Chain A
């Protein structure tokens, strides 16, 4: 497969996944902001979201110091100048798809194209402002559809594996950010020693995180227990059977990598394998006692490096 084609495929699925995860992040923040709490707490929530998405400077350049739910959502949903807004991601996904539409099945291309045409229509008609929750739900389902139509119609060749690679690399990054922003928001020490009132607040907080990655029901099924932060962390970081967990994503990355490389010495594979085994043999209490934030920051760095290695090895190779 052409390197350029692989590059477009990789980024097409990354942008689709990023749009979905941005919708998830915004949705959980939007839902929690509806709970009774102080204005300061609400602001902290939105500020944390901007910071973990690395959008603080860009936001400040446009809106200054004031942080309101409306501005943050506008910036992250419909601002075409913000390259990671939902509308920008969907446009980039579609432009990447268009560049390689011959490699995609008709169904995959039409899904990407229609998603973009519809998001433009919805934003223009005020659908987002009328019901943000419904809009986020729609973004998530278009992403589900994109993955489903890929799995359901594409030949499982290199093109397919590069698409999957993009999806899971992006998802690993996004889950790590989401876990970080939410655990960070609890500014108390970890694990929390909380009074009754705080426990109630915690319940809503943790269940919101779980819901943001569609894991609330999974949690109950796996642990059959009340919601405890360390278990939430374990589920989202270390459970291999949890589709959005860090380990789950890394397993997929490795599997798809092995399908596109023929080089046993591949540095990309070595790094991916090392990162995976660090998760595979980790224990949640060790991670927590060493500091969750530091762990996640390091994880993000390593995922980022992995992406750079994939680019170098497959997507823009020098003439050999």
Chain B
């Protein structure tokens, strides 16, 4: 079966899309050995900087730690200004609705009363936190940092269309790679940035800090913000440390915190200091051993009580997971209409909810063409990619589905768009997705772009870093007009004239 493909750069073998033309001309002039050298340089720098992620139970090549580099690809993913403008509007709309939904779930529950979402979808969800019912959170915002996964696939006309694949509202990762990839590109290819008007992303930590500070309990003049990490063995530890450093706030672990008189404090060399806002990168279950898992040392005993009293802000709020579940995802377009009275700007991937008998029947009959996902799965685990699976794998999934239909959803296998990528054999198309990071504080805002992840294996649709995926720099062009790139001879004469000038 051959599916239509959509390549981000090449419209066909002969023609390059308009917004890639400048870059492509530049790329064609680069000698292969120079690009190879840049690749090696990038890897060397990433290792020295220690931009790694940890893999539980793995050993690195020293046989000691368990750190891996996330492969970085030299070819950027480029998005023209008008496409981003509409995506950005769609993201603001979607995240606003999701926040309204979470608030509604823990308060009036109007969407259930209106019969739009069945109540068991919410109350039987493992991520639903009854402890949060009726709790007033600052600005009624729950997901302060949302990572929305977007893919592009060809429609019937062969044009690329964007779809939201997943909403990550708990502790979405990857923004540090977005920032480091940009830094690396500017270090390796500064000339590309003088030739192209690439929208900057480096102010993300500033926006994040502003978002977090805005959540501080009222009457806190100078709020103390901290980043809460599970510690250096967590796979995203680099990111936690990076964000704390970039914002100039403390990176704390659970044992650094304690609760006294219904306030949270951290232990410092000059005694206890009050904490007002916690950007937590620890899952709900581990946040407070008194409220959730009693054996967890990653959180802080009594935190939930302080939170419920409004004496500390937790970002993202406890219980946001109720809205990023794969069984809630199909309802997001309806949420947008229900809460905002608007038509959704961003599309959902058509989704079969296996809890519905009709959908289950369809899914079982079409397993070899569908992607089936566990409702609570993440990180590319617990899924069946029908077209890429063996008969035995499909039969295993069939049994699992029949045993617990409501634990699964199914979607058509999208042919994710591809982008030219450096692989062993040279430049070849590889599937990509995009994760923009949407910040909700006083306003809903974001930096242009996001993290582009790329599946490095030929034909693979799984872009997760835990599954060997890589990343690319993501360029949002500031204007749609094709950038003018001086030809090789022009740029040579330019540099000569500069040399003479000196």
A contacts, CB < 8 Å to B: 1-6, 91, 95, 98-103, 106, 109-110, 113-114, 117, 120, 158, 162, 260, 262, 314-315, 317, 319-320
The residue in chain A whose Cβ has the minimal distance to the Cβ of B62 is A120
Please give me the 8 A-B residue pairs with the lowest Cβ-Cβ distance, nearest first. A102-B245, A102-B244, A102-B241, A314-B269, A3-B267, A113-B50, A102-B251, A101-B241
Q: Is B400 an interface position by the 8 A CB rule?
A: no
Q: Is B253 an interface position by the 8 A CB rule?
A: yes
Residues of A close to B267: CB separation below 8 A: 2-4, 317, 319
Residues of B close to A100: CB separation below 8 A: 251
Docked complex Cα distance between A99 and B272 (Å): 21
Residues of B close to A106: CB separation below 8 A: 49
Q: A101-B241, A102-B244, A320-B272 are in contact. Are A2 and B252 (CB under 8 A)?
A: yes
Q: Is the CB of A98 within 8 A of B251?
A: no
Residues of A close to B64: CB separation below 8 A: 91
Q: A102-B245, A317-B271, A319-B272 are in contact. Are A2 and B50 (CB under 8 A)?
A: no
Residues of A close to B260: CB separation below 8 A: 319
The residue in chain B whose Cβ has the minimal distance to the Cβ of A317 is B267
Max chain A Cβ within 10 angstroms of own Cβ: one of B48, B267, B269: B269
Residues of B close to A113: CB separation below 8 A: 48-50
Q: What total of A-B pairs shows CB separation below 8 Å? A: 67
For A114, give its contact among B48, B245, B252 (CB under 8 Å): B48
How far in angstroms is the closest Cβ of chain B from A4?
Answer: 5
Q: Is the CB of A158 within 8 A of B269?
A: yes
How far in angstroms is the closest Cβ of chain B from A268?
Answer: 12
Please list 7 pairs of residues, one from A and one from B, whose beta carbons are closer than 8 Å in the complex, sorted by A's number: A2-B252, A2-B268, A98-B50, A110-B50, A158-B269, A162-B269, A320-B272
With A1-B250, A100-B251, A102-B241 given, name 17 new contacts (CB 8 A): A1-B270, A2-B250, A3-B268, A4-B267, A5-B251, A98-B232, A102-B242, A102-B245, A103-B245, A110-B48, A110-B49, A114-B48, A120-B62, A314-B269, A315-B269, A319-B258, A320-B271
How far in angstroms is the closest Cβ of chain B from A149?
Answer: 13
For A4, give its contact among B50, B241, B253, B271 (CB under 8 Å): B253
Q: Is B378 an interface position by the 8 A CB rule?
A: no
The residue in chain A whose Cβ has the minimal distance to the Cβ of B257 is A2
Q: Is the CB of B255 within 8 A of A4?
A: yes
Max chain B Cβ within 10 angstroms of own Cβ: one of A5, A95, A106, A120: A5
Q: Is B256 an interface position by the 8 A CB rule?
A: yes
By secondary structure, the A interface counts as: helix
Docked complex Cα distance between A45 and B232 (Å): 41
Residues of B close to A3: CB separation below 8 A: 256, 267-269
The residue in chain B whose Cβ has the minimal distance to the Cβ of A101 is B241
Docked complex Cα distance between A113 and B49 (Å): 7
Q: Is B47 an interface position by the 8 A CB rule?
A: yes
Docked complex Cα distance between A109 and B245 (Å): 12
Q: Is the CB of B268 within 8 A of A1?
A: yes
Residues of A close to B476: CB separation below 8 A: none
Residues of B close to A99: CB separation below 8 A: 232
Residues of B close to A120: CB separation below 8 A: 62
B: interface residue count bin: 20 to 34
Residues of B close to A103: CB separation below 8 A: 245, 251
How far in angstroms is the closest Cβ of chain A from B48?
Answer: 5
How far in angstroms is the closest Cβ of chain A from B260?
Answer: 7
The residue in chain B whose Cβ has the minimal distance to the Cβ of A98 is B232
Q: Is the CB of A1 within 8 A of B241?
A: no
How far in angstroms is the closest Cβ of chain B from A253?
Answer: 16
Residues of B close to A315: CB separation below 8 A: 269
Docked complex Cα distance between A101 and B244 (Å): 10
The residue in chain A whose Cβ has the minimal distance to the Cβ of B47 is A117
Residues of A close to B244: CB separation below 8 A: 102
Docked complex Cα distance between A100 and B227 (Å): 12
Interface mask (B463-491 → A, CB under 8 Å = 1, otherwise 0):
00000000000000000000000000000
Q: Is the CB of B245 within 8 A of A260?
A: no
Q: Is B178 an interface position by the 8 A CB rule?
A: no
Q: Is B266 an interface position by the 8 A CB rule?
A: yes
Residues of A close to B268: CB separation below 8 A: 1-3
Max chain B Cβ within 10 angstroms of own Cβ: one of A5, A101, A110: A101
How far in angstroms is the closest Cβ of chain A from B392?
Answer: 43
Docked complex Cα distance between A315 and B266 (Å): 13
Residues of A close to B49: CB separation below 8 A: 106, 109-110, 113
Docked complex Cα distance between A317 and B267 (Å): 8
Residues of B close to A109: CB separation below 8 A: 49-50
Docked complex Cα distance between A2 and B251 (Å): 9
How far in angstroms is the closest Cβ of chain A from B419?
Answer: 30
Residues of A close to B251: CB separation below 8 A: 5, 100, 102-103
Q: Is the CB of A1 within 8 A of B272?
A: no
How far in angstroms is the closest Cβ of chain B from A320?
Answer: 6
Residues of A close to B258: CB separation below 8 A: 319
Which residues of chain B (265-299) have a CB below 8 Å from chain A? 266-272
Which residues of chain B (337-362) have a CB below 8 Å from chain A? none
Residues of A close to B271: CB separation below 8 A: 317, 320
The residue in chain A whose Cβ has the minimal distance to the Cβ of B247 is A102
Residues of A close to B50: CB separation below 8 A: 98, 101, 109-110, 113
The residue in chain B whose Cβ has the minimal distance to the Cβ of A113 is B50
Residues of B close to A91: CB separation below 8 A: 64
Which residues of chain B (217-262) have a CB below 8 Å from chain A? 232, 241-242, 244-245, 250-253, 255-256, 258, 260
How far in angstroms is the closest Cβ of chain B from A7?
Answer: 9
Residues of A close to B272: CB separation below 8 A: 319-320
Residues of A close to B253: CB separation below 8 A: 4
Q: A3-B256, A98-B232, A319-B260 are in contact. Are A260 and B241 (CB under 8 A)?
A: no
Docked complex Cα distance between A100 and B245 (Å): 9
Docked complex Cα distance between A2 and B250 (Å): 8
The residue in chain A whose Cβ has the minimal distance to the Cβ of B232 is A99
Docked complex Cα distance between A1 and B270 (Å): 7
The residue in chain A whose Cβ has the minimal distance to the Cβ of B65 is A95
Residues of B close to A162: CB separation below 8 A: 269
Residues of B close to A5: CB separation below 8 A: 250-251
Residues of B close to A317: CB separation below 8 A: 267, 269, 271
